Structure 1
Amino acid sequence: MCTAVTLQTRQGETFFGRTMDFSYDIDPHLFIVPKNYEWTNRVNMAALANTYGFIGIGQELEGELFLFDGVNEMGFAAAALYFAGYAKYDDCSENGIAAYDFLHYMLGNCASVEELKALTKSVSIAGVKDPVTGTAAPLHWIAVDRSGACAVVEVTEEGKSVMDNPMGVMTNSPEFPWHMTNLRNYMDASPWQTEKVNWGQVELTPFGQGGGSMPLPGGFTSPERFVRASYLKSHVPMPEDGGEAVTSCFHIMENISIPKGAVIAARNVYDYTKYTAFININTCEYFFRTYDDFQIGTTRFYEYDFPAPRLVDLGGL
């Protein structure tokens, strides 16, 4: 369970962020993955090298890096979200990339959403078990570049799809086109106050402000979060600059974040928002806060210059 949102400022800066909602124990750290860093393709054990360097949030387990989100030096950002019940990966092949490595592969090789579309034509996405969940975790991906172009990558029974995402929002199952169609059920939602009406001889008046938002769903399912995120990002005033954008981004996510105890997974554990992170794609700067600490931390890719192509752990969030 996660939600991702894009937002742009009047100055032309693009922001991209997500909530990490998860029922498994994770220990997210910030990593610098430099240009020319070599890593192993877990499908065919071949060595791969990144064309671009990037900064991202992930976890290192058993000597392997598992990324959750990130942005590269070209201003291309992406995140992996759960896609339970719908992800159907390709069979392993020579040109295959493990699903949990596909985010790394994108960040290391794409400078734009258009390049992502070309890249996905030449690779297959394979299901390989990861040590976090012990399964071939069902995933789909959202990507955005400095222009504000946004796309979604999904692999289902229908095959692999790279779809433009004009809303700039993504959650979880079902497929992205279903979510976009479902928005039509909430066309009456509005920030404007409802007027009084008469039912026969009875006059009905609103209880107060906010009556126009009554149609919005209030639960934590993926469709409900998609609708709320889409409504909020579409109606918040366009931020003037990056500072206003950060404020707007976190306020949007406050309405979608899951408090501990509100959702309990089938394994009888809490599924809640472990962290919320936003990225200024133009400056490659991260803004983040965790469930237990509302103070916003920040770091940026360009603060670090490592001559050797080695993975650098900047520490936990």
Structure 2
Amino acid sequence: MCTAITLQNTQGAAFFGRTMDFSYPLDPELYVVPRGFQWTNLLRTHQIRNRYRYMGIGQDLSSVIFADGVNEAGFAAAALYFPGYADYDSDKTDDGADTRVPVAAIEIVRFLLGLCASLDQAASLLRTVRITGVEDSVTGTVAPLHWMIADASGNSMVIEKTADGLHILDNPVGVLTNSPDFPWHLTNLRNYLNLSPTQTKSQDWGPVNLTPFGQGAGAWGLPGDYTPPSRFVRTAFQKTHAAATEGTPETINAGFHILEGVSIPKGIVLTDRGTMDYTQYTAFMDLSQPGYYFRTYDNSRTTAVKLPDENEPGASIVSLGKLSSADRDSG
């Protein structure tokens, strides 16, 4: 469970937001990764050196696994669950003929953030790698993932690796949730052509005049549950019709309000393990002036952090602190 969204204001500044909905306890931190940092992929076959510095939210699971992030070029990426559809490449090749670099699904975000400045670069790079499955220590499973990426142009793409191959798809609505696949979600929007922000007019049914009960009747039929298809439709509708914004504070505020419409309180969604799937944090990334704005489940105050200036190229990853520390700071 997760929802991602792009926004762009009247000044052309682009933003990328997401909810982190998860049924396992997370303890994420905000990290800064320097330009020139070198790391080894999880399969221990290749070393990769970052071209760009970036900041992202992740968790240290022997190495830092990033869920989302933005780099100095204004390129951003986020991973979302994709159960029942994700199908990865093998981490081995029988004859050794496949020379593509194997990159685990859970390290795709850090891979792209360190090497890409634009959507076109990411699309080209992804065609040169094998996306493989590696277990994570939080769930003890190979996480089924797909990804949404965006850049400072305000455009976005969806990346899905399924049984019939790698799909790199333009995202004209700037929204992503979970399964089914992205083309299905776009097609499903056609079931909601009747939705409108304007008020429904009265109608005469024979001698009876029918009038709306109140404002909002134009959105009658907008799905209100927490399934991925419903969250996709609800977010796309709200994003499309939300009032235009001008400056960064206004745009960030609007973005958080839109994602409040799909945020999940504790206890509303229970898994078959009896655990609560809920929105553990909500984050917006500024792609024009790279930085983060985030809120956590226990603190609705927005914490803002700009991408720090470069210090020493090739230095180590630095944690700016756990997101939960913002809860403690709020008193």
Shorter-normalised TM range: over 0.9
TM-score, L = length of structure 2: 0.93
- The corresponding residue for 1:68 is 67
- The corresponding residue for 1:37 is 37
Whole-angstrom distance in 1 between the partners of 2:306 and 2:190: 38
Matched, 1:104 2:103: no
- Residues 232-243 of structure 1 mapped to structure 2, 5 A cutoff: 232-243=238-249
Query: In structure 2, which of residues 308, 312, 320 is the aligned counterpart of residue 314 of structure 1?
Result: 320
Gaps of 5+ in 1: none
Matched, 1:274 2:273: no
Conservation of the 8 A alpha-carbon contact between 2:75 and 2:149: yes
Q: Give CA deviations for 1:82-110 in whole Å, capped at 9, x if unaligned.
A: 00110000111452100001111010111
Whole-angstrom distance in 2 between the partners of 1:307 and 1:81: 30
SS in 1 for 2:276: coil
- Residues 130-141 of structure 1 mapped to structure 2, 5 A cutoff: 130-141=136-147
* Higher mean C-alpha displacement, 38-47 vs 16-25: 38-47
Whole-angstrom distance in 2 between the partners of 1:82 and 1:263: 16
Matched, 1:2 2:2: yes
Partner amino acid for 2:36?
Answer: N
TM-score, L = length of structure 1: 0.97
Q: Give CA deviations for 1:195-248 in whole Å, capped at 9, x if unaligned.
A: 111222222111000000112000000000000100011001121111110110
- The corresponding residue for 1:210 is 216
Matched, 1:256 2:255: no
SS in 2 for 1:230: helix
Whole-angstrom distance in 1 between the partners of 2:3 and 2:17: 8
- The corresponding residue for 1:26 is 26
- The corresponding residue for 2:79 is 80
Q: Give CA deviations for 1:17-67 in whole Å, capped at 9, x if unaligned.
A: 000000011101100011111211112432221111100000012x21110
Conservation of the 8 A alpha-carbon contact between 1:43 and 1:126: no
Whole-angstrom distance in 2 between the partners of 1:308 and 1:123: 24
| 1:305 Cα offset (Å) | 3.0
Partner amino acid for 1:266?
Answer: D
Gaps of 5+ in 2: 93-98, 324-331
Conservation of the 8 A alpha-carbon contact between 2:5 and 2:18: yes
Whole-angstrom distance in 2 between the partners of 1:171 and 1:262: 18
Conservation of the 8 A alpha-carbon contact between 1:110 and 1:116: yes
Conservation of the 8 A alpha-carbon contact between 1:30 and 1:314: yes
Whole-angstrom distance in 1 between the partners of 2:136 and 2:38: 20
Query: In structure 1, which of residues 173, 186, 198 is the aligned counterpart of residue 204 of structure 2?
Result: 198
Conservation of the 8 A alpha-carbon contact between 2:37 and 2:313: no
Aligned residues: 316
Distance 1:184 1:161, change over 3 A: same
Whole-angstrom distance in 2 between the partners of 1:305 and 1:10: 33
Percent identity (aligned)? 50
- Residues 145-160 of structure 1 mapped to structure 2, 5 A cutoff: 145-160=151-166
Distance 1:314 1:306, change over 3 A: farther
- The corresponding residue for 1:122 is 128
Distance 1:36 1:307, change over 3 A: closer
Q: Give CA deviations for 1:143-194 in whole Å, capped at 9, x if unaligned.
A: 0000112100000011101000010000000000000000000111110001
